[in-house]
Amino acid sequence: MTVSRRAVLGLGAAMAALGSLPYYAGAVSRPALPQRRTPSASAPDVTVNLLAKERRVRLFGKPDFPVWSYHDDILPIIRIARGSRLTAQFKNELAEHSSIHWHGIRLPNAMDGVPYVTQPPVQPGDSHTYSFTVPDTGLFPFHSHCNTVEQLGRGLAGALIVTGDESRPYDADLLCVIKDWRLDENGNFIDFTEDSGAAKAGTFGTLRSVNYKQTPMMAAPAGGDVRLRLMSIDNSRVNLIGIRGAEAAVIATDGQAVIPFPFTTWRLGSAMRLDLCIRMPKPGQTVHIYDYFAPEPVLLASITAQGPALQRGAFDPAPLYRPDIAEPDLANAIRRRIEFSATAKPTPNLIELPGGQTMNISDSLCLSDKTFWAINKETWPEDGHQRLPAPLLNLVRDQTYLFELVNTTPHMHPIHIHGHTFLYLRSNKTSLPPHYADTVLLKPKERIEVAFKADNPGDWMFHCHIIEHAETGMMSILRVT
Ligand code: C2O
Ligand code: CU
C-alpha cells in the first residue's frame, strides 16, 4: 500500500501555525480527502420504535438469558443517510428510569438523552421521542445514560450507521460491536462494578462477545476490499485491536474519515470506533480479529474468504469523503488545560429536597455514592444541593478551543465530549495522525491536545467513558453559550 502518511486531513496552514510539541510524522499537507460531490441527496427519513425491556433470549449457552435491549433484535442497527431525520420513539418498560444517548452525534442539546441535564429521565412505562437530523456519516453507538454501569452492562445499546461517505463502494461492509459480559460460570450476571475495579482500570467482564456472540465467524468475498467497522460498547475494557491474515488500513476514526494509512494495532476504549479497509485473502482462508491487550491474544471474531477470488490489484483502499465537521480555527484557539486525576475526597452524595428531607443523589442521578476520580480537581456531583454542578468550563459559541487533556493517573481514560467532535492534534506519548474523535483515549500519564469549534449551544457532558469512572466522579459539564 502506498499512501502519503503526511497528507492527513488537509490542515496544513493551521497546523503549521501551532509549532511547539512534536507530533505525527512532521508536517501535514494538502491535498486531502475527496470532497462529497453533491450535498446529500434526498433520502428517506427513518422512524424506529425502541422498547427498552428485559428479553429472555438464547444467548451465551443459556436458553433464557435476561438481556436488556431496545428491540427484539437485541443489538439493533439503525441505518440512515446523512442529512435525513431520525425519529426514535422510545418506550421504557424497564422497572427503572432510563434515556437514550446518541453518542457522537452532533445533535440539538435537547435530544442528547442525558437525565436531568437535557431531559427528565423517562420513568417506567413512559415514552419519549427523539428526533434530529444526522449531520455526520459514520458509526455511532446509542446507549442508556442512566444507571449506565448496569443498563449498558446488561446490553441496552445499539448501533447507528449514517451512510453516504463512500467515494468508491467496498466489496462488503461488516460491523463488529465489542462488549464483555459480567457473568458467573452458570451464565448469571454478577455485580457490574466493584470498588477495586472502579478505582482502577474498571471492572472487566468475564465473557467476550462480538455482536453479542462469542467469537462469531463472518464471511466476505475472497480478494475483496472489506469495510470493517469496529466499535466498543464495553463498560470498561480497552481492547488493543489487531488483525491477522489480511492487509489493513485505517479509513476512519469515530466514524470520521482519515486519509487511509497502514493499520498495525489500535487501542479501542469504551464507545470508540475504528473503520478499517481490509483486503480479504484467498478463498477458504480466514482473517482473525484479536485483542492483544492480554497475556495471550484473545480471539474476538473471524472472517472467512468466500467465493471466487476478486481481482482488485494492489491494495489501495478507497478513502471516505471528507468529514463535515467545522475545521477548528487553530491560530485563534483559546487554550485550556484539563486534568484527569484520582481524588481522595469522598463527596457525600446527599441532596436536600424541597420538603427538607434528604435523599441520596446516587439513586436520583444513577451514580455510585463513592468518588474516586476528578476533572480539574472537581468530582461529579460537585456539591450537596439539588442542582447540577456548575459547568467545568463556560465556552463561547463558535470560538475554537484547544484542550490539553492531561492524565495524571496510572490508568487509561477514554474521554468523551457530547455534541461536538474533537480534532486530535498530538500527544506526548503516541504517534497518531491528526484525526477526528469524540472519544479520545488517554494513556497513563499521557498529554493530548485536541481542538474543536464550540458551535453547538447547550450543556454538554464531558466525561470518561469507563462508565465506573464517570459514575465515581470523572464527569462534568461544558456549557456553550
Ligand atoms: Cu457514550 Cu456520555 O456517553
Ligand atoms: Cu476513566
Q: 360-411 pLDDT, tens per residue?
A: 544 444 455 678 999 999 988 744 334 688 999 999 999 999 999 999 999 9
Supply the pLDDT for residue 21: 42
Mean pLDDT of the chain: 89
Mean predicted confidence (pLDDT) in 161-184: 97
Tell me which of 348 and 274 has the higher pLDDT: 274
Query: Which atom of ligand 1 is nearest the CA belonging to 418?
Result: 2
Supply the pLDDT for residue 200: 92
For the domain spanning 5-32+172-306, the CATH number is 2.60.40.420
Q: What CA–CA distance (Å, rounded) separates 132 from 81?
A: 13
Tell me which of 321 and 8 has the higher pLDDT: 321
Query: Is 101 a pocket residue for ligand 1 (Cβ < 6 Å)?
Result: yes
Residue 29 pLDDT > 50, yes or no? no
How crowded is residue 196: how many other Cβ atoms within 10 Å of its Cβ?
Answer: 8
Query: Is 443 a pocket residue for ligand 1 (Cβ < 6 Å)?
Result: no
Supply the pLDDT for residue 364: 43
What pLDDT band is residue 357 in, cutting at 50, 70 and 90? low
Which residue has the CA at smallest separation from atom 2 of ligand 1?
461
Domain 330-480 grouped into CATH 3.40.50.410: no
Instruction: Summarize pLDDT for 112-128 with one digit per residue, the tens.
Output: 999 999 999 999 999 99
Which residue has the CA at smallest separation from atom 1 of ligand 1?
103
- pTM equals 0.90
Query: Which atom of ligand 1 is nearest the CA belonging to 114?
Result: 2
Q: What CA–CA distance (Å, rounded) separates 88 from 100?
A: 9
Q: What CA–CA distance (Å, rounded) separates 316 from 1?
A: 6
Q: What CA–CA distance (Å, rounded) separates 161 from 145?
A: 20
For the domain spanning 46-163, the CATH number is 2.60.40.420
Query: Is 273 a pocket residue for ligand 1 (Cβ < 6 Å)?
Result: no
Mean predicted confidence (pLDDT) in 313-334: 95
CA of 474 to the centre of ligand 1 (A): 12
Q: Considering the chain, what percentage of its residues have pLDDT values greater than 70?
A: 86
Q: Which candidate, 417, 5, 468, 481, places its Cα nearest to that of 236?
A: 468
Q: Can you tell me whether residue 364 is helix, strand or coil?
A: helix
Query: Is 272 a pocket residue for ligand 1 (Cβ < 6 Å)?
Result: no
What pLDDT band is residue 16 in, cutting at 50, 70 and 90? very low
Which phi and psi (to 5°) does residue 48 adopt? -130, 150
Supply the pLDDT for residue 8: 45
Supply the pLDDT for residue 340: 98
Supply the pLDDT for residue 41: 60
Residues with C-beta atoms within 5 A of ion ligand 2: 413, 464, 466, 469
Beta strands in 34-73 (DSSP E): 46-59, 62-69
Work out the end-to-end distance of the chain between its first and last CA atoms, rounded to an integer number of angstroms.
45
Mean predicted confidence (pLDDT) in 465-469: 96
Query: Which atom of ligand 1 is nearest the CA belonging to 439?
Result: 1
Mean predicted confidence (pLDDT) in 24-45: 63
Mean predicted confidence (pLDDT) in 238-258: 98
Which ligand has the minimum distance to the alpha carbon of residue 200?
A: 2
Supply the pLDDT for residue 370: 78
Pinpoint the residues of the chain covered by CATH 2.60.40.420. Answer: 5-32+172-306, 46-163, 330-480
